[in-house]
A = this chain, B = another copy of it.
């Protein structure tokens, strides 16, 4: 159906030279007269020739394409990360094939399959919440494809990892809450088969311990971090015999649930309840009160992931050896908004 596109053969025929030579001319190989180059290029333009990357890539057996798998494209953390990846890839003449796992392990496995079939040069992934098994990641490596995990990673896999200083950042957030005279701080965390949630929780626990405060058993929980689920948990705790006076959550969506719960119960934030999220989703700045959160630098996280691939690539070309896998850490910054900053009049509870 599609009309045939112009190929180097068409140009060759028109100029009475060999196709190979056209290819060389277009690529400006040395040993080609400038005259010829100009002639070929002119004819190419005339015939509206376009380099067929898919043919060239096929021959060279690479695709100049990076596969990206994220749980959800339309979640600002991920769309920012993708924006960062896209920019770096574009700068390096690579393209992006994007898949979403929708937090499903099965879909994630399918996406990996697809990308391997597609012959992508590297796969940049942030794992779904459901992913507990890493055979599919092993497959990526077995196919000689560079694997880069960002944010939600599996430590048991030999790959590049780009992550935040989760433990430290969580610690700083909790420290901030303590400084604001909150004392009964609850933690809402994520599924702990994912390392980042262990790290964030650890930051929480360590910091509380350092302050020589004990944490009631029910003050820490691990959930799937959805808004509604978090709201329910917050309601339970706040209605309980020993309500917390602050929440630190491993996700802004969970924090949103807490905020909702506070509204349900008419508890003033930050006066009687401090809230600190994690992720720096776009909406945090629009809430009333604005939500304090940990800025994960999502765009930078994405960009760094891509850069890691390209620097490794360059290294490979120059030295013939692939660099060692390494873990890069992007330092989070705290965004202390209204939800966690008390005025001096606000009472500390005890």
Contact = CB atoms under 8 A, between A and B. Distances in A.
A144 B322 contact: no
Interface residues of A, number: 52
A18 interface: no
A142 interface: yes
A183 to B, nearest CB: 29
A96 B98 contact: yes
A196 B322 CA distance: 50
A3 interface: yes
A30 B80 CA distance: 48
Contact of A2 (B50, B58, B61, B117): B61
Interface centre among A5, A74, A113, A322, by most chain B C-beta atoms within 10 angstroms, is A74
**Which of the listed residues A54, A80, A97 has the most CB atoms from chain B within 10 Å of its own CB?**
A54
Interface stretch (A38-46, A82-90, A149-157): A82-90
A148 to B, nearest CB: 16
Nearest to A61: B2
Interface in A265-294: 282-283, 286-288
A129 interface: no
A65 B119 CA distance: 13
Contacts of A283: 282-283, 286
Interface string A52-80: 11110110011101000000111010011
B74 A144 contact: no
A95 interface: yes
A87 to B, nearest CB: 8
A48 interface: yes
Given A50-B143, A79-B79, A86-B100, 6 more contacts: A2-B61, A50-B113, A51-B117, A73-B83, A86-B98, A95-B114
